[in-house]
Structure 1
Amino acid sequence: MLHIIFSLLVSMQAPAAPTNYSVVQDGLKKIAQENPTTTELFDIGLSDSGDPIMGLKIGNGETPDLIVATHHGNEYGSTGVAMGAADAFAKNPIVGHTVYIIPVLNISGYNNRNRYERTPSGSVDQNRDYPGPCATTQPFRSKATKALADFIDKKNIVSSATLHTYWPAVLYPWGFSTKDITTSYESTFINLVKASAVESGYAVGNSKELLYAADGAFEDYAFWKHGVWSLLFEMGKSHNPSQSDIKRMIDVNVPGFRRFFENAPKERAANHDFTGKCDYTRALQRTHLE
């Protein structure tokens, strides 16, 4: 499987016409072909670039979970980790779970090594494109973010891991512009992030407290809107990881994904409304990171 991931890196070096996403699609098809009894290809719809947003369904358990990578197109290391997770889970599915893995959400950004997605309405930061209690901009300018939002609703996703680079940490809601960062499930989230970082040794904690405020991010949206047990994995130490860096990120994070899904509650959180107040006075704009 690593040769597929490394071929992604090689294709990223070429300045020619964008073809990198096709390598991801071929990799997913290969995993499906090699594991026909445990996997099924799917897509959640077309992106603004006209490409199908492809994923791999793994297992057939009652609890549906999600791994989604590359909201930011320049964070190709997250795609490599998602592909590594797809291969590992296809060979050894989680009993009682169905895991949906989407390695690339921002297709045009991924193809062009760009954080932002190109849409008819301009460049969009996909991980600021979701509704939220403190979001101030119009949501769902991207077809991809709307498709993902519809997908987690339709499939009744219970737990989700969203993958980014680079600031090694595993984080939980709330992460937007507020001083009221505590949810009703603080102890549950703390246990989940600790379980997810056993191998990686990443820092763990609240997203805003440990990183910075980000309004309109997927991980907050999924919990706020649906009660999805949503964790943010900030992996590695670079937006330009080497082949060995990606291999290490796979090795130390994939076991954490598995443990997260195994230990998370089997039903969505019941009390997921935000009852605090928005506070924009201390919102940081470190958009070069997550």
Structure 2
Amino acid sequence: MLELLFSLFVSPSNAPVTNYATVIQTLQQIQQANPTTTQLIDLGPSDSGQNIVGIKIGDGERANLIVGTHHGNEYGSTAVAMGAADAFAKNPIKGHTVYIIPVLNIPGFNSRSRYERIGGMNSVDQNRDYPGPCITSKPFKSKATKALADFIDQKNIISSATLHTHWPAVLYPWGFSTRDVMTKDDSTFIQLSKDAAVESGYDVGNSKDMLYAADGAFEDYAYWKHGIWSLLFEMGTTHNPSETQMAQMVSVNVPGIRRFFENAPKERAKDHAFTGKCDRSIMQRTHLE
């Protein structure tokens, strides 16, 4: 099932052939093959008019979330989200409910663009579109990011994994424009990140220090706003993985995501406010990946 999906992501020349309809069809197939453990979900329409479809797996009290493809050109993240959906549907995590949104940026995914077109010539980087303590622009320009934010509040998400490519690491908050990157939960985040990287061997660390400062990212928003145990998975070594590379990304990351959810605290963090200072000068020395 997933092998067919992966093959549709690449052409013989390794040029991506992304198609959101195929993702929905594969989710439907996973649900039909596992009717007692899964249910399709719908977060509502994006700016493109297409509905943001995902899958619910299990019915436990602890709610977890996996989100792929904030950036439409990072289709390897979609592959890992779909791999997790297939694996967890066959073997749900006892006591957990896992919600998986394989594609948040539907227009970007279909056109293989990092950005989401939200009308006319306007576009937005979805993973810079969330509120945060160092945000200076208006958040939630995208209907998709607002829908996801509403969803995590409604479902009382406890832990979340957001999937990106291509800088092999498992990262934790804070990742925005500050030099005060430590949280009061650093020791927990470090252990959870190590748990998630057993198979992949990825580096683990603070998002801003190991990658770059990024204001408005989902991972920081989820922890800052709600105390959600939120990890960022930067997977693989390319934005253009082959079918073989996508399968390898699934094999080394899905077990770690599962272990992260199993070992995360049973409740949201209690003391998750940011008490440091913002430093926008840091943003001038960072770049997009």
The alignment's TM-score, normalised by the length of structure 2, stands at 0.96
Separation of aligned partners in 2, 1:14 and 1:43: 31
Aligned ranges 1:84-99 → 2 under 5 Å: 84-99=83-98
Mark the CA change 1:13 to 1:28 in structure 2 (over 3 Å): closer, same or farther: farther
Residue 136 of structure 1 deviates from its aligned partner by 1.3
Task: Work out whether 1:285 is the aligned partner of 2:258.
Answer: no
Residue 2 of structure 1 deviates from its aligned partner by 2.6
Aligned ranges 1:1-290 → 2 under 5 Å: 1-10=1-10, 20-120=19-119, 122-283=122-283, 284-287=285-288, 289=289
The alignment's TM-score, normalised by the length of structure 1, stands at 0.96
Point out 4+ residue stretches in structure 1 off by more than 6 angstroms: 11-15
Separation of aligned partners in 2, 1:249 and 1:202: 11
Q: 2:5·2:22 contact (CA, 8 Å) conserved in 1?
A: no
Separation of aligned partners in 1, 2:66 and 2:136: 27
Residue 286 of structure 1 deviates from its aligned partner by 1.2
Separation of aligned partners in 1, 2:119 and 2:236: 33
Separation of aligned partners in 2, 1:63 and 1:46: 27
Separation of aligned partners in 2, 1:70 and 1:194: 23
| Equivalent residue letter for 1:286 | H
Q: Report Cα offsets for 1:213-263 as digits up to 9, x if no partner.
A: 000000000000000000000000000000010010000000000000000
Separation of aligned partners in 2, 1:171 and 1:7: 29
- Unmatched runs of 5 consecutive residues or more in structure 1: none
Separation of aligned partners in 2, 1:119 and 1:145: 12
3-state secondary structure, aligned to 1:90? helix
Residue 153 of structure 1 deviates from its aligned partner by 0.3
Q: 1:70·1:110 contact (CA, 8 Å) conserved in 2?
A: yes
Q: CA RMSD in A?
A: 1.7
Residue 14 of structure 1 deviates from its aligned partner by 11
Q: 2:18·2:112 contact (CA, 8 Å) conserved in 1?
A: no
Q: Report Cα offsets for 1:91-140 as digits up to 9, x if no partner.
A: 00000000000000000000000000000271100000000000111100
Count residues with an aligned counterpart: 287
Q: 1:8·1:24 contact (CA, 8 Å) conserved in 2?
A: no
3-state secondary structure, aligned to 1:180? coil
Separation of aligned partners in 2, 1:224 and 1:14: 39
Q: Report Cα offsets for 1:65-111 as digits up to 9, x if no partner.
A: 00000000000000001000000000000000000000000000000
3-state secondary structure, aligned to 1:281? helix
Q: 2:223·2:229 contact (CA, 8 Å) conserved in 1?
A: yes
